[in-house]
Amino acid sequence: VTRKLDFFWIPFKTDCEELLGRFQQTMSVRYEEFAAIWKTMDFSSVFYGYTTRHEKRAFSRLAFATVYNYFLPPYSFQIRVGAMYMLYGLYHTQLVWPKEKVWIALKDWVHVQRFVSDAFSCQHLDVVYIYQKLVSERAFLYTAMPKPVHSPFLISYHNMEGGGQDLGKCFLMQEIANVHAHYERIKKGLSMSSSVSVTLLNLTGQLQKCALEFQQWQEKNTVSISWWRPEAFFLCASKSRRHRQVEMDTSGSGTDQLQEQWTPRGRRPPSLRARTWQNLGKKG
């Protein structure tokens, strides 16, 4: 899927710039002007290139992330208006359910609010209306980061040793503390009750405590953890197979078994007819 997305990303970005360029030539911010260009280019058909649900959802995320960049400074007001109209069209024409949302990062929120305020002060009511439509339909997902973060403290099966240490890294804890402090300031600014909270109190302290407990547990169980690694499993299995092979080779008795055991590789033992002729043939 990633290779397909990389392959289609440049053509999609080119089509977006083509649509925004045509909209810019109209010297207008009216939605009807944008809608006419959208229909002429048949822009909703960009979602028809994928067949599986996973591919469609991944492309929807890529499309929103690509267009979202044009919705922010330093692009001009008209380009940003066109990008918002494009997000509106893509949101309603995507082929997945539940619908993918447009991510608005915490650092970009001030730019979005200023954009809406400027549109309202200039009486660009089309812009304000489309924005309010997106808000009312819950098309925006307000996030701390502009894209998903592959957290370094997610512990994989093959890298359990570094989990606790990665979680305790200073830069990661500082980033979490900054986001949490900003959340608390916003809550105080809205005069919300202290009982209303979607995060734990002293979040960074709780995370550091969990990281320390995990590290201590890991040090006590280093031996037992090492035996569960894949290489340890195959090592034990190979030893077990060798042990069973020795038992199988030495469990029997008799001249034939010893003869077969010491027969050089590539030479077959004499047949019954040959042994009979050798023992009885000379006696007539």
Query: Tokens 């949101």 label which residue?
Result: 91
Q: Tell me the pLDDT tens digit for each residue of 11-67.
A: 889 999 999 999 999 999 999 999 999 999 999 888 887 777 888 888 888 899 999
Q: Tell me the pLDDT tens digit for each residue of 186-225.
A: 777 776 555 556 566 677 777 777 777 877 777 777 655 4
CA–CA separation, 226 and 239 (whole Å): 17
Residue of 203, 167, 166 whose CA lies nearest to 182: 203
Extract the tokens encoding 159: 């890298």
Query: Tokens 């200023």 label which residue?
Result: 114
Extract the tokens encoding 87: 């997000």
Average pLDDT of the chain, as a whole number: 74
Yes or no: say if 225 and 159 are a contact pair by the CB < 8 Å rule: no
